Structure 1
Amino acid sequence: MTTTNLPTLDLLKGQARRLRESLSATGRPVTHGKALELIAGQYGFRDWNTLCARAAAQASAARPELRLDMQVSGHYLGVPFTGRIAALGRRGGRFLRLTVVFDAPVDVSRFSSFAVKRRRISATIDLETGETVEKTSDGRPQLVVHLAA
């Protein structure tokens, strides 16, 4: 059974969806559940639930555990910051609501004629990427927290 370097659950589910579509296009339709089981077999697992549990455990072990008062860095609205985590709350599966208090106020204004300084922000991030789902007008995540140790 191969347990190293498994793709994320989203990628595994995407593989199952593409396999199902491909088989259907060749006249051999399968259910979504059967496609998941076939993908699990390709990775050497006895079933989808076992593969899913192993991939989730691998993803969890690969990222550091965020905790209160932890120093973090990243970008908020494209501006680099350092700060500490002042509040944490789970938002289901892989999402986390957090409040970051910046070490120094972050000026998020793009105009030189005035400043818009933020001292703290709250956002929901995807733990796998460290990014918010919400994007700025240029397509970048509003907040990126660097999760690497």
Structure 2
Amino acid sequence: MSFSLDPISAISLKAEAKVLRDERARAGAPITHSAALELVARAHGFRDWNTARAALPERVATPVQVGERVKGTYLGQPFEGIVIGVNLMTDMQHYQVTVKFDDPVDVVTSELFSAFRQRVTSTVDVYGVSPARTGNGEPQMRLSRA
């Protein structure tokens, strides 16, 4: 089992404890949920589960929320739209965000043809910036609250 180091929350530690408990049960060495919580808390450097729970936020901050109005650029083109999906990625540092644009965005820079998109899904960090880059080195998506 691998543990994420940053960012962590009470919810992410509870999820890790559930995975640990399931793994131990499959290996024939079952443990209680509270024992799994204690082990996970210690693995993250806390004295015990109560100390971890008191020190950690309930949830990890997200760049945007479902239903929120956003603006930004996608493949270099400006957009405004609404967030219709946000999922925390397994690395606990990136989010898969789905945005429905108010007006379709032409994602092709060629003058010979166009390719319009009205709904896109992109991976962004907590600041709303995509780690993936276009050919000119710019992030594929930059988004912020409108």
TM-score (norm 2): 0.55
Q: Specify the alignment match of 1:74 in structure 2.
A: 72
1:103–1:146 CA distance, 2 compared to 1 (3 A): same
1:124-139 to structure 2, matched below 5 A, reads 124-127=123-126, 129-139=127-137
User: Structure 1's 64 and 88: CA in aligned 2 closer, same or farther, altered over 3 A?
Assistant: closer
1:72-124 CA-partner distances (Å, limit 9, x unpaired)? 00000000000101111111422111100000000122122321101111011
The answer for the alignment partner of 1:90 in structure 2 is 88
RMSD: 2.8
Q: Provide the residue aligned with 2:99 in structure 1.
A: 100
What letter is aligned with 1:94? Q
How many residues get paired? Answer: 94
List gaps (5 residues or longer) in structure 1.
1-8, 10-48
Q: Give, as a single letter, the amino acid of the residue that structure 2 aligns with 1:142.
A: Q
1:142 aligns with 2:134: no
Matches of 1:72 and 1:87, distance apart in 2: 12
* Residue type at the aligned position of 2:123: T
Partner-residue secondary structure (3-state), 1:112: coil
**Within 2, Cα distance between the matches of 1:143 and 1:64?**
16
Alignment of 1:6-85 (within 5 A): 66-85=64-83
**SS of the counterpart of 2:111?**
coil
Deviation at 1:68, TM superposition (A): 1.0
Looking at secondary structure, tell me which structure has more helix per residue.
Answer: 1
Q: Which has the higher contact order (CA 8 A, sep 6+)?
A: 2
Contact 2:129-2:139 at 8 Å conserved across structures: yes
TM-score, normalised by the number of residues in structure 1? 0.54
SS at match of 2:135: coil
Percent of matched pairs sharing the same residue: 30
